[in-house]
Amino acid sequence: MTKVTAQMSVSLDGFYTGPRDAREPKDMSGWMQGPEAPGFFRVTRWVVDAMAWRERQGFAGGERTINSQILEETFAAAGAYVMGRRMFDAGEAPWGEEPPFNAPVFVVTHRSREVLERRGGTSFTFVTEGVERAIELARAAARGKDVAVAGGGELLRQVLSAGLLDELELHIAPVLLGDGQRLFDPSLGLGTDDGIELVPTRVVEAPEVTHVRYAVSGRSKLVLDDRGASGELVGPAQPGT
């Protein structure tokens, strides 16, 4: 059955890239010199390493690393993608004639545009009726496979916040960046006594990165529940606080 999934590489402090570049550079060399690039390269280093390993092997099989297995699994599971406008704009030129999606991609945007057909099975359809409609279209196009939220962070938060995400996988790189663009921020729109509950379903410990996968249970009230513990257990005395 089709699930709506998302996966992102983040630093241990929750950033998926460096701080936003106020210049909004239009080309890759501008972006490379901006503040986003160093953090981005660091959190996705495991991907590049796994891809480089695949390249070296000529995709010929043999021993696979945990990380390359997880990448292959991720590519194979997605039958269609949903993408934010900013990510599309940044990617359109560098992805070129054969983008790495090999599946229909639905871009959430305010500007309508003709469908863009690319080689290798990738197409970009521009959806102006909002994120829910984009997911509906992607679901129909996914042929029973999953709908993957390609990014960026803002779209992922919208999907989560609207209760549309079924599964979230984070690839946590063992680094603290201190500042940058956060995957999760107050735009999730949760009150102080609301949370979005998840259930851990898989943890894979690799040398360069920790992969944690969750099923999203949904929005839930946070309760002041000390589970019947005595007074001393309540409050800032607890370990882990």
Instruction: Please list every residue from 89 through 148 that binds its own copies, using CB under 8 A.
Output: 90-91, 94-96, 99-100
d(CA 165, CA 226): 30
Residue 8, beta-bridge partner list: 170
Q: Does the protein bind its own copies through residue 193 (CB under 8 A)?
A: yes
Q: Among residues 1 and 223, whose Cβ is nearest to its own copies?
A: 223
> Residue 236: what are its φ and ψ, rounded to 5°?
-70, 5
Please count the CA atoms within 13 angstroms of the CA of 50 that sit on its side-chain side: 19
Q: Does the protein bind its own copies through residue 76 (CB under 8 A)?
A: no
Binding residues among 154-173 for its own copies as defined by CB under 8 A: 160, 170-172
Q: Does the protein bind its own copies through residue 152 (CB under 8 A)?
A: yes
Asked if residues 11 and 176 have their Cβ atoms less than 8 Å apart, the reply is yes
> Helix (H, G, I), strand (E, B), or coil: what is residue 113?
coil
d(CA 188, CA 3): 21
Q: Among residues 40 and 126, whose Cβ is nearest to its own copies?
A: 40
Binding residues among 5-34 for its own copies as defined by CB under 8 A: 7-9, 11-14, 16-19, 28, 31-32
Instruction: Build a one-symbol-per-residue string for 36-75: x at contacts with its own copies by CB under 8 A, - elsewhere.
Output: -xxxxxxxxx-xxx-xx--x---------------x--xx
Instruction: Provide, rounded to whole angstroms, the least separation between the CB of residue 133 and its own copies.
Output: 23
Angle of CA points 129, 135, 141, to nearest 5°? 110
Q: Among residues 26 and 133, whose Cβ is nearest to its own copies?
A: 26
Q: Among residues 21 and 132, whose Cβ is nearest to its own copies?
A: 21
Residue 209, beta-bridge partner list: none
Instruction: Provide, rounded to whole angstroms, the least separation between the CB of residue 232 and its own copies.
Output: 7
Q: Find where tokens 């945007």 sit.
A: 109
